[in-house]
């Protein structure tokens, strides 16, 4: 381990606190069980990321428990092994410079769609707002190297969606910040559940593409108070 450069010490410590706090949103929103799932954040100005350690209870995820890795998924700072999904997160940061945060969960409804290898259709205004169209399915990939990361990048580069359902695995979400990626993780589970319920009544009706485009533009550029949603 080469350690965190002194000039990045403050920003890394701030990100550790932010990432630790954001992990609490996953069980709070019923997106994870046991120690599954992870949130990471890019360290601005360096090829580094902050992520949770592997196999540690959410109750133990203090800022000091967070680890720092480089974009080859090597541990740079921390006392524990990094998350088993670190290579996937690192690949995304290395190949999508606009991404500042990555989240992975096994939330029930979104993962059920992933198990079917079926995109979530754009049949709700909320899907148009947040995802800009259907929520796509990424390729099947085994954990352990950057294969999952490659699938995420290949899928999301051609989509406006900040979420991808990795086949037979579960959702990964990205955002300009770690908080934005967590929001997308909450939203993808919510719409996955709602569309599932709609299908119990019949086939949901897709929103015309021109209306999806208008919804997405308004929500991304006009809605809110001029800050990241």
Q: Write out pLDDT tens, residues 16-50.
A: 999 999 999 999 999 999 999 999 999 999 999 99
Q: Please determine, for residue 217, whether its predicted confidence score (pLDDT) is greater than 70.
A: yes
**Which helix H or strand E contains 175, and what residues bound it?**
strand 170-175
| Distance separating alpha carbons of residues 55 and 73, to the nearest angstrom | 17
Q: How many domains does the chain have?
A: 1
Catalytic pick among 85, 129, 146, 190: 129
Catalytic pick among 106, 108, 213, 217: 106
pTM above 0.85, yes or no: yes
Catalytic pick among 91, 169, 190, 219: 169
| Distance separating alpha carbons of residues 64 and 150, to the nearest angstrom | 30
Structure tokens belonging to residue 17: 């606190």
223 included as an active-site residue: yes
pLDDT at residue 226 in the model: 55
Q: Please determine, for residue 183, whether its predicted confidence score (pLDDT) is greater than 70.
A: yes
Q: Give the total residue count for the chain.
A: 229
| CATH code for position 186 | 3.40.225.10
In tens, the pLDDT along 77-87 reads: 999 999 999 99
104 included as an active-site residue: yes
Does any domain span residue 159?
yes
Does any domain span residue 226?
no
Does any domain span residue 229?
no
Does any domain span residue 1?
no
Does any domain span residue 228?
no
SS3 11: helix
Q: Residue with structure tokens 């580094």?
A: 48
pLDDT at residue 224 in the model: 76
Per the prediction, the chain carries an average pLDDT of 96
Question: Which domain, by its residues, includes 61?
Answer: 6-221
pLDDT at residue 2 in the model: 65
User: Could you tell me the strand order of the sheet in which 38-43 lies?
Assistant: 75-77, 67-70, 48-51, 38-43, 101-104, 170-175, 163-166, 137-138
Catalytic pick among 23, 70, 104, 109: 104
Q: Please determine, for residue 229, whether its predicted confidence score (pLDDT) is greater than 90.
A: no
Output the CA torsion sign for 94, 38, 176, 70: negative
């Amino acid at each position: 381990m080469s350690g965190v450069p002194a000039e990045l010490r403050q920003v890394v410590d701030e990100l550790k606190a932010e990432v630790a706090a954001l992990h609490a949103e996953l069980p709070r929103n019923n997106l994870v069980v046991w120690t599954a799932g992870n949130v990471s954040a890019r360290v601005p100005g360096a090829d580094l990321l902050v992520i949770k350690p592997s196999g540690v209870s959410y109750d133990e995820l203090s800022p000091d428990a967070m680890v720092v890795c480089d974009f080859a998924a090597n541990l740079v700072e921390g006392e524990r092994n990094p998350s088993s999904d670190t290579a996937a997160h690192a690949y995304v940061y290395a190949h999508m410079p606009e991404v500042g945060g990555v989240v992975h969960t096994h939330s029930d409804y979104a993962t059920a769609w992933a198990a079917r290898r079926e995109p979530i259709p754009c049949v709700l205004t909320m899907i148009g707002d947040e995802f800009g169209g259907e929520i796509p399915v990424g390729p099947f990939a085994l954990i352990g190297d950057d294969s999952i990361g490659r699938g995420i990048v290949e899928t999301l580069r051609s989509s406006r969606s900040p979420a991808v359902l990795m086949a037979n695995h579960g959702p990964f979400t990205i955002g300009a910040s770690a908080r934005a990626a967590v929001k997308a993780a909450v939203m993808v589970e919510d719409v996955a559940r709602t569309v599932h319920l709609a299908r119990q009544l019949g086939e949901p009706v897709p929103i015309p593409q021109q209306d999806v485009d208008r919804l997405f533009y308004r929500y991304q550029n006009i809605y809110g108070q001029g800050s990241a949603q």
